[in-house]
Amino acid sequence: MAPVKRKLYQRLLLFFCVLLPISGVLCFSELFFVKEPRDVTVMRKEAVILDCQARGEAPVDVRWLKNGVKVVENERMYLLSNGSLYISEVESRRGDKSDEGFYQCLAQNKYGAILSQKARLTIASISSFTIQPTPIVVTEGSVARFSCKISAHPPPIITWEFNRVTLPLTTERITVLPSGILQIHGVQRSDAGSYRCIATNISSRRRSTEATLTVTPAPSPQLPQRPRIIAGPQNISVSLHQSAILECMATGNPRPIISWSRADSKSIDVYNTRVLGNGNLIITDIKPQHGGVYMCRATTPGTRNYTVASANVTVLAPPSLVEWPESLTRPRAGTARFVCQADGVPTPQITWLKNGEKVHSNGRIKMYNSKLVINQIIPEDDAIYQCQAENEHGSVLSVARLIVVMSEDRPSAPRNIRADTVSSSAILLAWERPLYNSDKVIAYSVHYMKAEGLNNEEYQVVIGNDTTRYIIDDLEPARNYTFYVVAYMPMGASRMSDNVFQYTLEDVPLRAPELSLTSHSPTDMTVSWQPLPDKLSRGRVSGYRLSYRTSSESTVSQIELPGEKTQHHLENLQPDTIYLLRIAAATSVGWGEQSAWASHRTPKASSARVPLAPELHLEPLNCTTILARWQLAPRNSASVQGFKLFYHEESQSESAPVQLRASDYTHTIGGLDPRKKYHVKLLAYNAVGDGYQADQTISTPGCVSVRDRLVPPPPPPHNVYAKTNSSTAVFLHWGRPAFTSSHAVNYTIRCNPVGLQNASLVLYLQTNEQSLLVHDLEPNTRYEFAVRLHIDQLSSPWSPVVYQSTFPKAPSRPPSSVKVTLIEEDAALVSWKLPDEPNVAVTHYTILYASKNAWLAGEWQVLQREGSITMALLENLKPGLVYLVKVSASNDMGDGPFSHTVEMMVQADRSSGHNLLHSHGSTRSTAFPDGFYHLDQKSMTGISVGVCIAFICIIICAFIIVCRGKNRKLSAVKSYRQGVNTSAAAAGHLGSEGAVEHADVTVPMMSQSHFIDAKGGTNLIINSLGPVQPSTEKKRKWLFSSNVKKNSKTMQNMRHNTASYQPCSTVLTFEEDLSISPNQPCTLQALLGHPIDIEGSSNSEGSHETGDSGRYSHDETELTNLSSGSCSRPLSLMVEDSGDSESNGPPEEPSELSEESQTDLKVKDFVDDGCCRHEAQSCSPSALSV
């Protein structure tokens, strides 16, 4: 019942596959051939049909190929409705116009294409005889044999004629073999005559030349003769199911008996084997078991005298599949493996086809023997694949399909892949994350391979999803590589990214060329060499440097040659002298290593009649054998008795020569060591002496054992750790991989600066330990380190790269370009540049300065600045003194030397007023650092925006006040009239003195609900008694004069006024000592006071440190300190009341001073509480504007 149920299920499945629309996905309709073309032989001008019928899901398209090229239809050759190819008249012409060749039909539908087996179309023909019968003379009673051979298609039938009469194929004495052999046993006198063979096939008939058989009488009496085989069996190869004929013809007296046996002692198949004629063995319907060595034995009857001849029978079999590929369904980025094994004699060659086209091995698709492996499957791999097994006797194909399953939510391909060359062996690959579903990416795989050549190996590196950059190292210099990236997610992989190509940089040649040295006269030498292969040249060779000298001299002569040359002729040499030569090659990067010295002795001056140097060619056959081939020089005219061959390993002594005959032109040198360099010397000799010698150097390749191909490399070291030890050393430590082998292990450490472009500067170190201190590194340089393990002649991959920077070394040179510039009467600017040395790191600078008197006393003043600052301000310098300044650079590793001392003279100040200003230690002033006058652009922009915003707010507030405060203005006018007398009296008092000596500006303590607007307001000027001028004036100038003295009553009145302060009113006092001459221009610094030390140093001589920041512009922090620090009190001016609050008098205008001593002060009116609160949010009481 089980078989019945299985058949039922299969039929139901077939029914659903046919009816359901998804049949193309779940159970695709395979293509297959109902009829395939077969080999055919036709006559010229005949018609022929090559059959081809394919079945599959419609529509099915059929095309024909001839010798792999598509057949173009015409009137004489076209396709029939069933797909067969019809040729109305077969043509036989020379070249491609002949119809002969191999034909295949290609059937295709939407799933793919399949190719039929090859069919050979042959036009019947027969050529001339290659072997024709020859005349022979035999004695009566012996045997005679004629043979002929001809090439024809189809194979011809050969018959024989005796005196132009056809002979029977087989009689008791005559045997005709199908191979064209005529045998006559027991020759009689009547057999004498003319014999010829006739070859016939469907195309024609050919007759050979006639050969005469002459029969001589037999001697009497006949003497006994040992058996002798005159025509024994020949090695033969026979196709399966064909016939094999083994000839065996013997003579002797008495007539020998012929028997057959197998050399392997197996019995001969009696069912398919018979004896033809007198001792010939024929095997019909030959099979593989019939192959072997057959022995023909001719034995004298009644004795043990015999002779034996043997031949090997090889049974040729067309391919037959033992294992064929099966259809597969795989997801994107998966791996598909197809297996195909075939038998046949000779061994069939396996070829893989994809949709009828040959599959070429590349990085992603590999073919191992009879297997096809497709890695990183992409949608384009969905196709029909065929395994074709082919040998000389036929071909066979098998079909399988690969279905690629697509995931709907897979990520898109990585984007914008870029490759940048880092060095001669490394390329940096970068890309962007996929556009869709990038959050589901769990890893990336980077694929790369050489872009030039065939069958290149593709390499793959898997990295995490936390980076989109990767450096691929261990690349070959000056090679073009192709890269692509694939993104992975749990459900599958993305499409491949676009391929990107990039070259590695050139490097110096890995080794020098091998020299070939030949002399054609006693005073010359020809030096030749082969161009370096790309793997060794590592770029385009731009030149060669040839060095030579005699063995007894140390002076070396050098010749530089262009890169395209491969030989050079040296002249004017000394006869019978040993010369040493070596060569080096160069690329654009630099010169490679020079070769070892090669020696050559020039001929003697009397060697005119000895042979010239042979033309020697060396070729490595394997890792231990070299084949030497040579020929005599074309100009050689001397006789040659033999050759002498010398060879020895480099740096070893020369061994005895190998004596060779004059007829020898090849010699195999065996027993050599792999990966060694050998010197080979060859010369010819004659009776005069040894001829000129030819010297050449060759290297044996390395041996690749089966073990090397099968044993995987060990894993790389793990947990590589790097720690900086000093400015020139880094300590490395790593872990040994876990494996059970206890063999000796050593490690190679690779070290190079990051971004190195010359791979020859990479440092390689060897050690047996798991740690190493790497010395002789450059200070303050970032290095990359990698470790490789070596065990039992196997090497692991490089470990992941770790990065570490060396410490900077202490500066060894002082700062350069030290300059001191006097920018004010008591301040100087010191500037300098970085120390003039590479890779120097500076964390801070030290500035020493002192006057000459202090310097003699050993007293220096010290300033320090950060390493990013290259200037400093020296303040509070005393006039009339000479100052000495020097600078040094320092870092964490130590201090550097000081620069040369720079002298600066501070000019004496002629202004007594200015000297008084700096001499009074009790003078209080507002400190404005030098940077306040050199604000940067960003600060100026912020200030401008703030001022504009404040100005707009003031205008709005003023508009509100004007609209709502008319009554308040009337009361303000009344208050103004009451205070006119007081103001006039104060103005008169000021005008009478002519100069102001003491004035205080006092801002009383304010409540939290009242503010002072220092930025502006209305056009009213208000004191404690009210408005002091009409509101209609735009500006009010307050003029001050010197020598105005305060009395105690005035101070009491001022205190009273201050205590009676009302909201939105301003009281100004001034208590700064100004020493300003009326006739002297009033400068801003004289008005505001000299800058003070913001670093808190004293003003005493010889111990003052400046507070300069080292820059001309300050940042926001400095501006904040300026506005809110204790030493940054804004300037205020004061109007002093000269009378008491009760005095009344007519108002007077203040008397004006000279225009040069006037100072304009604008004091803005503070109005109602709302306006004051609004303005207070953007200013502080200490930020009054000047």
Query: What is the fold of 415-503?
Result: Immunoglobulin-like (2.60.40)
Rounded Cα–Cα distance for residues 31 and 105 (Å): 13
Whole-number pLDDT of residue 965:
66
Residue 1117: partners with Cβ closer than 8 Å, 6 or more residues away: none
In the predicted model, is pLDDT for residue 355 greater than 60? Answer: yes
- Find the angle CA(362)-CA(368)-CA(372) to the nearest 5 degrees: 70
Mean pLDDT of the chain: 76
Assigned token pair, 221: 């009496």
Residue 926 DSSP symbol = -
Q: What is the mean pLDDT of residues 916-940?
A: 38
In the predicted model, is pLDDT for residue 337 greater than 70? Answer: yes
Q: What is the mean pLDDT of residues 1122-1146?
A: 38
Regarding predicted confidence, which is higher, 717 or 915? 717
> pLDDT exceeding 70 applies to what percent of the chain?
73
At 1166, the pLDDT band (50, 70, 90 cuts) reads: very low
At 454, the pLDDT band (50, 70, 90 cuts) reads: low
In angstroms, what CA-CA distances link 338 with 151, 226, 375, 380?
Answer: 42, 62, 12, 17
Regarding predicted confidence, which is higher, 146 or 1144? 146
Q: CATH number for the 515-699 domain, one of 2.40.420.20, 2.40.10.170, 2.60.40.10, 3.20.20.70?
A: 2.60.40.10
Residue 191: partners with Cβ closer than 8 Å, 6 or more residues away: 144, 162, 184, 213, 215
- Residue 1006: phi and psi, rounded to 5, are -110, 150
Q: Is the dihedral of CA 976, 982, 986, 987 positive or negative?
A: positive
Query: What is the fold of 718-794?
Result: Immunoglobulin-like (2.60.40)
CATH number for region 223-318: 2.60.40.10
User: Which amino acid would we find at residue 72?
Assistant: V
Q: What is the mean pLDDT of residues 1039-1063?
A: 40
In the predicted model, is pLDDT for residue 30 greater than 90? Answer: no
- Residue 95: phi and psi, rounded to 5, are 80, -150
Question: Can you give 72-116 as a three-state secondary structure string?
Answer: CCCCCEEECCCCCEEECCCCCCCHHHCCCEEEEEEEEECCEEEEC
Rounded Cα–Cα distance for residues 1017 and 959 (Å): 11
Assigned token pair, 591: 């010169």
Regarding predicted confidence, which is higher, 363 or 152? 152
What is the distance, to the nearest Å, from the Cα of residue 330 to the centroid of all Cα atoms in its chain? 31
Whole-number pLDDT of residue 1:
42
Kindly report the pTM of this predicted structure.
Answer: 0.48
Q: What is the mean pLDDT of residues 418-428?
A: 88
At 64, the pLDDT band (50, 70, 90 cuts) reads: very high
CATH architecture classification, 127-222: Sandwich (2.60)
Beta strand segments in 272-368, E: 273-276, 280-283, 292-299, 306-323, 328-331, 336-339, 341-345, 349-354, 357-358, 365-368
Superfamily of segment(s) 324-405: Immunoglobulins (2.60.40.10)
Q: What is the mean pLDDT of residues 783-804?
A: 83
Per-residue pLDDT of 802-850, as tens digits, reads 999 988 888 888 999 899 988 888 889 999 998 888 777 888 899 999 9
Whether 233 contacts 275, CB under 8 Å: no
Superfamily of segment(s) 29-123: Immunoglobulins (2.60.40.10)
Cα-based torsion angle of the residue sequence 718, 720, 721, 726 in order, rounded to the nearest 10 degrees: 160
Rounded Cα–Cα distance for residues 1016 and 1036 (Å): 13
The Cβ-side half-sphere exposure at 643, using a 13 Å CA radius, reads 26
Q: What is the mean pLDDT of residues 482-511?
A: 86
Whether 208 contacts 147, CB under 8 Å: no
Rounded Cα–Cα distance for residues 25 and 11 (Å): 18
Rounded Cα–Cα distance for residues 211 and 680 (Å): 56
DSSP helix/strand/coil, 1058: helix
Among 973, 1131, 977, smallest CA distance to 1040 is for 1131
In the predicted model, is pLDDT for residue 191 greater than 70? Answer: yes
Alpha-helical runs (H) found in 432-512 = none
Assigned token pair, 475: 């690349």
Start and end residues for every CATH 2.60.40.10 domain found in the chain: 29-123, 127-222, 223-318, 324-405, 415-503, 515-699, 718-794, 816-910
Q: What is the mean pLDDT of residues 596-618?
A: 83
Give exposure, 38-70, as e/b (b: 16+ Cβ within 10 Å).
Answer: eeebbeeeeebebbbbbebeeebebbbbbeeee
In the predicted model, is pLDDT for residue 231 greater than 80? Answer: yes
Whether 227 contacts 254, CB under 8 Å: no
In the predicted model, is pLDDT for residue 182 greater than 90? Answer: yes
Give exposure, 365-387, as e/b (b: 16+ Cβ within 10 Å).
Answer: bebeebbbebbbbeeebbbbbbb
Rounded Cα–Cα distance for residues 337 and 328 (Å): 8
Alpha-helical runs (H) found in 646-697 = none
At 1117, the pLDDT band (50, 70, 90 cuts) reads: very low
DSSP structure string for 1106-1134: ----SSSS--HHHHHHHHHSTT-PPP---
For the chain, what's the residue count? 1186
Regarding predicted confidence, which is higher, 212 or 709? 212
- Find the angle CA(402)-CA(406)-CA(409) to the nearest 5 degrees: 165
In angstroms, what CA-CA distances link 66 with 34, 38, 106, 112, 138?
Answer: 20, 14, 11, 20, 54
Whole-number pLDDT of residue 1010:
41
Q: What is the mean pLDDT of residues 583-607?
A: 85
**Lowest mean pLDDT across 304-308, 464-468, 1109-1113:** 1109-1113
In the predicted model, is pLDDT for residue 716 greater than 50? Answer: yes
Whether 541 contacts 513, CB under 8 Å: no
Helix H or strand E encompassing 486: strand 480-489
User: Which amino acid would we find at residue 385?
Assistant: Y
In the predicted model, is pLDDT for residue 1097 greater than 90? Answer: no
Rounded Cα–Cα distance for residues 269 and 271 (Å): 6
- Find the angle CA(693)-CA(695)-CA(701) to the nearest 5 degrees: 150
Assigned token pair, 222: 């006949």
Rounded Cα–Cα distance for residues 283 and 246 (Å): 8
CATH architecture classification, 816-910: Sandwich (2.60)
Peptide bond into 154 cis (omega under 30): yes
In angstroms, what CA-CA distances link 909 with 443, 922, 1085, 1090?
Answer: 76, 21, 16, 15
> pLDDT exceeding 90 applies to what percent of the chain?
25
What is the distance, to the nearest Å, from the Cα of residue 772 to the centroid of all Cα atoms in its chain? 29
Helix H or strand E encompassing 1057: helix 1048-1059
Q: Is the dihedral of CA 164, 168, 172, 173 positive or negative?
A: positive
Per-residue pLDDT of 98-152, as tens digits, reads 888 999 999 998 888 999 989 999 999 999 899 999 999 999 989 999 999 999 9
In the predicted model, is pLDDT for residue 434 greater than 80? Answer: yes
Whole-number pLDDT of residue 12:
42
Q: Is the dihedral of CA 662, 665, 668, 674 positive or negative?
A: positive
Per-residue pLDDT of 759-770, as tens digits, reads 556 787 888 888
Per-residue pLDDT of 271-295, as tens digits, reads 889 998 888 999 999 998 999 999 9
In the predicted model, is pLDDT for residue 1114 greater than 60? Answer: no
Whole-number pLDDT of residue 635:
78
Rounded Cα–Cα distance for residues 891 and 845 (Å): 9
Whether 446 contacts 472, CB under 8 Å: yes
Among 936, 955, 957, 1006, smallest CA distance to 1182 is for 1006
Whole-number pLDDT of residue 1089:
41
Per-residue pLDDT of 519-572, as tens digits, reads 888 888 889 998 888 888 888 999 999 999 998 888 889 999 998 888 899 988
